[in-house]
Amino acid sequence: MITPGSGKWIGILGGGQLGRMIALEGRRMGFHVLKWTGGDVSGAAETADRVIEDPFDSPRALEDFISSVDVATVEFENIPAALMEAVEKRIPLMPGSHAVATCQHRVREKRFLDDNGFPCAKFKIVAAAAELVDGMQALDCDTILKTAEFGYDGKGQLAIDQGTSPDNLQELWTNFGATRAVLEEKVSLAAELSVIVARSTSGEMVAFDPAENIHRNHILDLSIVPARLPEGTLRDAAAIASKVTEKLNYIGILAVELFLTTDGRLLINELAPRPHNSGHHTLEACHTSQFEQLLRVITRLPLGSPKLIKPTVMMNLLGDLWPGPNTPPDWTQLLSTPGAQLHLYGKSEARPGRKMGHVTFLADDIDTALQQVATCRQHLGLPPV
């Protein structure tokens, strides 16, 4: 156990906003924080006590990182597997390299889920144009082609209609530019949701209330908690997420993203081995945030209560809102809203689609929170939900 206030150091691999929020919670709890950004200098890393900006393949930086911290974690999944393996040989790394490597690669992730009987959309592994043609014939439905690696927020995905000809499929594969991909059934969605689970080294687990997620242009727009879905569906989602966490022997914070189809199926979309965008509301709306929960896991402290204090809606703030790269929007309406909490990530420059911050709306009920969201969206020039 690493006692808060003991002067021990937490290491974070990654330089984005998730690490920023982990660092803020860690410093609040009396830990020192070192972030290794891998070269990312966006500004989000500045909340750490110390930052290493060297590339992730730097032997000097590796030795510096390992010798400087007592325990380490990751803030995004695309950390090189060799780096994680080198770190965990010397110091505790949670989650470990095997779990992160499973989640960072769609083929490994799908095979893990399928091999263990977890519900997911029908899929085929594709590594050549001929396999894409065969996969379309086998699935016999509209599909989504997804790159095996480095896909997020809709990147690396291509919708393919069921009637696409073999010649066109071959051309699509050539233009797709991947060496390996997952061809997945395109399901009819009733809703999207996510469940964030914390699991300790002793196997203790707690799950946050499932979030109902609304996306715009493939990027998370709103998360609503409690989700406006049947209680039975929410119980089933939490149970699936907990079973996945346990089967993966996962230590840390795991986000399980799910589809609810129009025919009533709950299907796992993907796994995120880190704090998750849909859990940002936990900073204000829960007894223990997802970021503090991760710190409790890696320092072997007791897990905190994930209980929801108030109904909440979290809204992402993308760079599209910024009038210029360094000119923020007018926050007057937002900051005049009771219960609204603004978080900005300190990134050096706004770009379309870039996550620059979020705002959490707390209210006595979801309808009130959504009304506040609607008013602020109108003021910011965002489309209605």
Residue 114 lies inside a defined structural domain of this protein: no
320 Cβ partners below 8 Å, 6+ apart? 352, 353
Beta bridge partners of 224: 212, 313
Query: Is the domain of 309 the same as that of 256?
Result: yes
Q: How far apart are CA 292 and CA 310, in angstroms?
A: 18
| Mean pLDDT to the nearest integer, 214-242 | 97
159 in a structural domain: yes
> Do 261 and 373 share a domain, yes or no?
yes
195 within some domain: yes
Strands (E), 95-134: 123-126
Question: CATH number of the domain that 40 lies in?
Answer: 3.40.50.20
**Boundary (domain end) residue, out of 136, 159, 185:** 185
Instruction: Kindly state whether residues 155 and 282 are assigned to the same domain.
Output: no
Q: Which run of H or E residues covers position 317?
A: strand 312-318
Instruction: Give the pLDDT confidence of 95-144 residue by residue, as tens digits.
Output: 999 999 999 999 999 999 999 999 999 999 999 999 999 999 999 999 99
Residues 196 and 173 occupy one common structural domain: no
Structural tokens at position 356:
């620059």
Residues 54 and 197 both lie in one domain: no
Which CATH number covers residue 232?
3.30.470.20
Q: Do the domain assignments include residue 112? A: no
pLDDT for the residue 38: 93
pTM of the model: 0.95
Q: What percentage of the chain carries pLDDT values higher than 70?
A: 98
Residue 154 in tokens: 């809709």
pLDDT at 153: 55
For the chain, what is the radius of gyration of the CA atoms? Answer: 21
Q: What angle do the packed helices 290-298 and 17-28 form, to 10 degrees?
A: 70
Q: Kindly state whether residue 103 falls inside one of the protein's structural domains.
A: no
Query: CA angle 178-181-183, nearest 5°?
Result: 135
Q: Residue 152: what pLDDT?
A: 60
How many domains does the structure of the chain reveal? 3
SS3 297: helix
Domain closes at, from 145, 165, 185:
185
Whether the Cβ atoms of residue 221 and residue 316 lie closer than 8 Å to each other: yes
Residues 332 and 297 in one domain: yes
pLDDT digits (tens, 9 = 90+) for 36-89: 999 877 777 789 999 999 999 999 999 999 999 999 999 999 999 999 999 999
Angle value at C-alpha 51, between 49 and 56, nearest 5 degrees: 145
Has residue 4 got a pLDDT over 90?
no
Question: Are residues 137 and 216 part of one domain?
Answer: no
**pLDDT of amino acid 202:** 96
227, 329: one domain? yes
Residues 209 and 316 placed together within one structural domain of the fold: yes
Residue 362 has pLDDT above 70, yes or no: yes
Q: Are 244 and 341 in the same domain? A: yes
Answer yes or no: is 101 within a domain: no
- Please, what is the average pLDDT of the chain? 94
Q: Are 184 and 146 in contact (CB under 8 A)?
A: yes
Q: Is the pLDDT confidence value at 336 over 60?
A: yes
Domain boundary among 44, 77, 93: 93
Three-state SS across the chain?
CCCCCCCCEEEEECCCHHHHHHHHHHHHCCCEEEEECCCCCCCHHHHCCEEECCCCCCHHHHHHHHHHCCEEEECCCCCCHHHHHHHHCCCCECCCHHHHHHHCEHHHHHHHHHHCCCCECCEEEECCHHHHHHHHHHHCCCEEEEECECCCCCCCEEEECCCCCHHHHHHHHHHHCCCCEEEEECCCEEEEEEEEEEECCCCCEEECCCEEEEEECCEEEEEEECCCCCHHHHHHHHHHHHHHHHHCCCCEEEEEEEEEECCCCEEEEEEECCCCHHHCCHHHHECCCHHHHHHHHHCCCCCCCCCECCCEEEEEEEHHHCCECCECCCCHHHHCCCCEEEEECCCCCCCCCCEEEEEEEECCCHHHHHHHHHHHHHHHCCCCC
Find the domain containing 177 and state its range.
122-185
Is 193 found in the same domain as 152? no
| Spatial separation of the C-alpha atoms in residues 42 and 20, rounded to whole Å | 11
In a domain? residue 169? yes
pLDDT tens, residue by residue, 133-191: 999 999 999 999 999 886 565 568 899 999 999 999 999 999 998 889 999 999 999 99
**pLDDT above 90 coverage of the chain, percent:** 89
| Judgement on whether residues 171 and 318 belong to the same structural domain of the protein | no
pLDDT at 235: 97
pLDDT tens digits for 268-281?
999 999 999 999 99
Q: Is position 115 within any domain?
A: no
30, pLDDT greater than 90: yes
